[in-house]
Amino acid sequence: MFGGFYKVRFTLNEAVGRSVMYVRDGKLLGGNSAFAHIGTYTEASDGIDIEVKTVRHNPDPNYRAMAGTDDATLIAKGNADGNLYRFKGALRELPGAVFQSVMTPIEEESVPIAGGVGEGGIVNGLYSIHIKMLDGVAGGLTGVMLLNDGRILGGDASFYYLGTYTSENGRWKGQILNQEHTPAVGENPIFGGREVGIGFSGTCDEEGALLEATALAGKRSLRMTAVLKLMRRA
């Protein structure tokens, strides 16, 4: 059965990209450091048909769109290969280009939900997240985060995160464990090669959230802030 939390490696002709993806109930929700990936799927006897749209959430021009346009639509078909899923297809906006991807499951740790969501709590959905380091530390992260009834699943091209939260009356707080799915030591020396525990608290409304957090990266304690923007309700 196609479903769960995956890391994704994909190619468009010779170009290579990576992301994370959550699959459930006919929906595909995920993304990476610059784009959200939002789509649907149907399962049939001859395989899995998917349609996924890309939406830019990071305006940094260093993150280029593989299709040459920020808004692209992928049509692909896939099948299981052991515990992996392999897809092949094309982009509507780039006729003739060949898309291929491999989806590898990420083990979802059994993290207890620390209370859930009450009235006025944060909305379930797919969010972009932009993290900024404080105290003069250079760097940060951008990615996507899926919030669903007190559970956090998210990531980018190199990392994935799992966590829990509670939320009500316009506030939320929780814990996240940030881990690599693809080596990132050279690209991100702060988080690369480590499991990073993050505790956070902040405010939220129907459009997004703010948070302040402390991360433990090896022996370093790092403060950071983040902005979340709702991209699709779940």
Last residue of one domain, picked from the residues 72, 105, 138: 105
Give me the helices (H) in the chain, please.
Answer: none
Are 93 and 138 members of one domain?
Answer: no
Are 41 and 71 members of one domain?
Answer: yes
Are 99 and 122 members of one domain?
Answer: no
Are 153 and 189 members of one domain?
Answer: yes
Are 65 and 141 members of one domain?
Answer: no
Are 227 and 126 members of one domain?
Answer: yes
- The overall longest dimension of the chain from CA atoms, in Å, is 55
**Cα 54 to Cα 67: distance, rounded to the nearest angstrom:** 10
Contacting residues for 169 by C-beta, under 8 A, at least 6 apart: 118, 119, 120, 121
CA-based radius of gyration for the chain: 17
111 located within any domain = no
What's residue 115's pLDDT? 65
Last residue of one domain, picked from the residues 74, 105, 136: 105
Query: What's the mean pLDDT in 22-39?
Result: 97
Are 78 and 124 members of one domain?
Answer: no
Spatial contact of 154 and 143, defined as CB atoms under 8 Å apart: yes
Output b/e per residue, 184-209; b: 16+ Cβ within 10 A: beeebebbbebebebebebebeeebb
**Cα 109 to Cα 195: distance, rounded to the nearest angstrom:** 14
Q: Which domain holds residue 38?
A: 4-105
Domain count across the chain = 2
Which phi and psi (to 5°) does residue 17 adopt? -140, 165
Per-residue model confidence as pLDDT tens digits over 123-164:
999 999 999 999 998 888 899 999 999 999 999 999 999 999
110 located within any domain = no
Per-residue model confidence as pLDDT tens digits over 41-54:
999 999 999 999 99
Are 98 and 124 members of one domain?
Answer: no
Q: Which has more pLDDT, 201 or 183? A: 201
Per-residue model confidence as pLDDT tens digits over 111-126:
556 668 999 999 999 9
**Cα 93 to Cα 55: distance, rounded to the nearest angstrom:** 14
Is the model's pLDDT at 181 over the cut of 60? yes
Are 129 and 35 members of one domain?
Answer: no
Query: What's the mean pLDDT in 57-73?
Result: 92
Contacting residues for 107 by C-beta, under 8 A, at least 6 apart: none
Are 83 and 142 members of one domain?
Answer: no
CATH of the domain at 18: 2.40.128.380
